[in-house]
Amino acid sequence: MNETSNHDFQPDSNAQAPSKSERAFGYMHIGQRRLPALPVAAVVGVVLAFVVGMLMTWLMPGPDSVSWIRKMLLNAVCSWPVLFALAWVCIVDRESIPEADLRPEENVETHWVNTSAVHAFWATAIAVGPCVVFTINIKTDLPAVSLTLLAVAAFMVLAFLVSYGIERVKDRG
């Protein structure tokens, strides 16, 4: 019995062959249709960027000398690259990318990222302490800096404890 899945779908013989860039960035599937993921992600990213731009402008008003539209457009333009990438990650069919790892959690780059994240956590945790002490002892009218650093340190400790507890429970079964 020879069944075909969505990622084995072949276009019509009359259809144009996909370009190299389309193959490199993968496809998304909508029913039996296969669309290049990159342009779809770009459009979704633009829509999300405008929504985020409007929310950011509404929640964080800037100087009154700049019009609301300009502030919104600036926020949208600044948030578009991240939202574009996020949209692509969410819609692309991983199996349509020629050289994609089928199990990325088992490759060496994932190990490097995890190790780097641990090192970054500890480096930041170690650096925040002296920064709090330094900002408390300087004579300034900016106690918010010290409180912010203290809040960052407290959040890091809380995040570590929660993560540690979750991992411990998962390992025990």
Instruction: State the residue range of the domain holding 72.
Output: 6-96
Domain count for the chain, please give it: 2
Question: 30: which strand partners?
Answer: 33
Is residue 1 a part of any domain in this protein?
A: no
Q: Looking at residue 18, what is its pLDDT?
A: 54
Under a CB-based contact definition with an 8 Å cutoff, are residues 80 and 45 in contact? yes
Tokens 């079964």 belong to 173
CB 87 within 8 A of CB 44: yes
Question: What local confidence, expressed as pLDDT, does residue 76 receive?
Answer: 92
130 and 68 within one domain: no
pLDDT at 32: 85
Contact 107, 37 (CB under 8 A): no
Are 68 and 133 contained in the same domain? Answer: no
pTM of the model: 0.53
Per-residue pLDDT of the chain (173 residues; tens, 9 = 90+): 444 444 444 444 455 555 555 567 788 888 888 888 889 999 999 999 999 999 998 887 667 777 888 889 988 999 999 999 999 889 888 777 777 777 777 777 777 778 888 888 888 888 887 877 777 676 666 666 667 777 887 888 888 788 777 777 877 76
How distant is the alpha carbon of residue 55 from its chain centre? 19
Encoded amino acid at 147, one letter: L
56 and 135 together in one domain: no
Which residues on adjacent β-strands are paired with residue 37?
none
120 lies in the same domain as 80: no
Question: H-type helices in 16-102, by residue range?
Answer: 20-25, 37-59, 68-91
